[in-house]
Structure 1
Amino acid sequence: MSRPIAEDDLHAFVDGALAPARRAEVEAFLEKNPEIANRFGRFAEHRVELRSALAPIAAEPIPPQLNLAHLIAARRPARWAKWSSMIAACLLLLIGGAGGWLLRGDGAAGGVGIEALADEAAYAYAVFGTDRARAVEIPAADGPMLARWMENRLRRRVTMPDLARRGFRLMGGRVVATRNGPAGLLMYDDARGLRIAILMRPMIAQDRSARMAFHRQGDVVGFTWADRGMGYGLMGTASAGLLHPLADEARRQFQSKARA
């Protein structure tokens, strides 16, 4: 009897690291579980995007000072510590660059306006809205801490809309990186487990005030707007008819707190 399909099997399936027999078992499992198949299908898409984004860096020649023969020759502890720091710095740059590329959006290259905000919000939802383990970094129970974190990074007052009357509870949030600086990301869900996300950040050079507009990026849809120099994007995979009233209510609360 084969062992049950575990999370490690699913990630190895996305990475193409399974033996043929086990791969066939995972494929059969995914056929019977379309929700899980859809989630890990998105992981596979992100993996392809990440590899594509880092391909130019990977193709560059290794700097002479990081050549393996050179590192082996420098065996003295002090020298090794120096090169270790350089290698760690390179890895951090690669990881940071990868995160930026994942959240950049196809239309965000060089963009700072509402279209760039829409791309950033859609990609943030695609990454964190489907994460069943760590959708948020700080839970709603620690709301004051979350608000302080966002306000410190955005340098703006932050409002966390109450959408309970619309059937959605605040799960929590985090601060995410975008091409246009830090942004706050709030995650909500309803009784069925349907999730929506609100991304907010200062508008740098344009669209400091913008009317609400509909956006679609693949399966992710939502509405964006800007008011008093802050931009907002409410995104999810629900219908526009469900999301529009939520966006209207969130905007009303943001404007009410801004005038207070």
Structure 2
Amino acid sequence: MTGDPNLAPGDGLSQSELDALSAFVDGELPEAERRAIAERLAADPRAAACVMHFRAQRAALRALFADPAAQTSGPCIVLRIRTPWWRHALVAAGSLAAGAALVWLAGALQIYRSPPEAQIAFARQADRAYALYAPEREHAVEVAATREGTVVSWLSKRLNRPLSVPSLAEYGYAFLGGRLLPSLAGPAAQFMYENARGERLALYISAASRGEEPVRTLREGDRRTFYWVSRRTAYALSGDVSDDRLREIAVDVCGDLGGHPEQWR
């Protein structure tokens, strides 16, 4: 019996025909039906190709699972639903693949949804610093923006890393100045911004033990903090504004500071 190599298994065959060919391969047909199928195979390249495919799959699965029943010639009673065995094999293989994919996806989501404890603590420190100093009318900053070069140089030395002040002028926020604050990782810097309505944003910066961490969000009442890590430096932008608005600003701040804002979009 020779199958046509140009035909895909099952092309042009109905489900009942596929069932009959599967039963033929498994030796489950009455003698009269078996002879009829055998005669058909000699004249029907489609059916012959399908049977060849079924037999190849059967041999591969027997070798893979070392099925003892496949090596037993004695009589046995089989209770079977009339679904081709090869379909069960495909469903099982698909289930294994789907299960593996779900395990991988769950792990990936767990990594993303479960930030390190140090990052959570950092975000809370940034939020508390914003909540403490943003309402201050006279003493919101330690060194005013009129001495921008001084405050940036001073804080860069204290954090032992080069810092810069991103411009938020296009969003209507002016730089007010900065201050030195403590953090669990050592010294931290806070840069404060204000718009014409008196609304304020604060950028909080400290050292980080990790090289990169994706952006995450902390919500405390009406306050929002977007925080991330880039080049072993942790950043957090806090404000009492909507998620969408603060995220838009944080994306630009991340880019200005050498991060990877394309990962946020």
Amino acid corresponding to residue 152 of structure 2 in structure 1: A
Change (3 A) 1:222 1:250: same
Report the alpha carbon displacement of residue 157 of structure 1 after superposing the two structures with TM.
Answer: 0.2
Instruction: Report the counterpart of residue 130 of structure 1 in structure 2.
Output: 135
Instruction: Report the counterpart of residue 230 of structure 1 in structure 2.
Output: 233
Are residue 170 (structure 1) and residue 175 (structure 2) matched?
A: yes
Cα distance in 2 for partners of 1:252, 1:159 equals 12
Give secondary structure in 2 for the equivalent of 1:132: coil
Are residue 119 (structure 1) and residue 130 (structure 2) matched?
A: no
Report the alpha carbon displacement of residue 135 of structure 1 after superposing the two structures with TM.
Answer: 0.2
Report the alpha carbon displacement of residue 143 of structure 1 after superposing the two structures with TM.
Answer: 0.5
Counterpart pick for 1:242 among 245, 255, 258? 245
Give secondary structure in 2 for the equivalent of 1:134: coil
Report the alpha carbon displacement of residue 167 of structure 1 after superposing the two structures with TM.
Answer: 1.2
Cα distance in 2 for partners of 1:123, 1:221 equals 11
Counterpart pick for 1:152 among 150, 153, 157? 157
Percent identity over paired residues: 31
C-alpha deviations, 1:39-97, integer Å up to 9, x for none? xxxxxxxxxxxxxxxxxxxxxxxxxxxxxxxxxxxxxxxxxxxxxxxxxxxxxxxxxxx
Amino acid corresponding to residue 203 of structure 2 in structure 1: I
Task: Judge conservation of contact 2:204–2:237 (CA < 8 Å) in 1.
Answer: yes
Give secondary structure in 1 for the equivalent of 2:258: helix
Task: Judge conservation of contact 1:150–1:158 (CA < 8 Å) in 2.
Answer: yes
Give secondary structure in 2 for the equivalent of 1:113: helix
Task: Judge conservation of contact 1:112–1:180 (CA < 8 Å) in 2.
Answer: no
Cα distance in 1 for partners of 2:118, 2:161 equals 18
Cα distance in 2 for partners of 1:178, 1:218 equals 22
Counterpart pick for 1:190 among 182, 195, 217? 195
Report the alpha carbon displacement of residue 133 of structure 1 after superposing the two structures with TM.
Answer: 1.5
Instruction: Report the counterpart of residue 215 of structure 2 in structure 1.
Output: 212
Amino acid corresponding to residue 224 of structure 1 in structure 2: Y
C-alpha deviations, 1:176-200, integer Å up to 9, x for none? 1122211010000111111000000
Task: Judge conservation of contact 1:187–1:195 (CA < 8 Å) in 2.
Answer: yes
Give secondary structure in 1 for the equivalent of 2:137: coil
Cα distance in 2 for partners of 1:201, 1:208 equals 13
How many pairs are equivalent?
144
Cα distance in 2 for partners of 1:120, 1:209 equals 19
Give secondary structure in 2 for the equivalent of 1:255: coil
| RMSD of aligned alpha carbons | 1.4
Aligned pairs for 1:1-260 within 5 A: 113-203=118-208, 205=209, 207-255=210-258
Cα distance in 2 for partners of 1:179, 1:227 equals 18
Cα distance in 2 for partners of 1:128, 1:237 equals 13
Runs of 5+ in structure 1 lacking a partner? 1-110
Report the alpha carbon displacement of residue 112 of structure 1 after superposing the two structures with TM.
Answer: 6.0
Amino acid corresponding to residue 247 of structure 1 in structure 2: A
Cα distance in 1 for partners of 2:134, 2:192 equals 7
Higher relative contact order (CA 8 A, sep 6+): 1
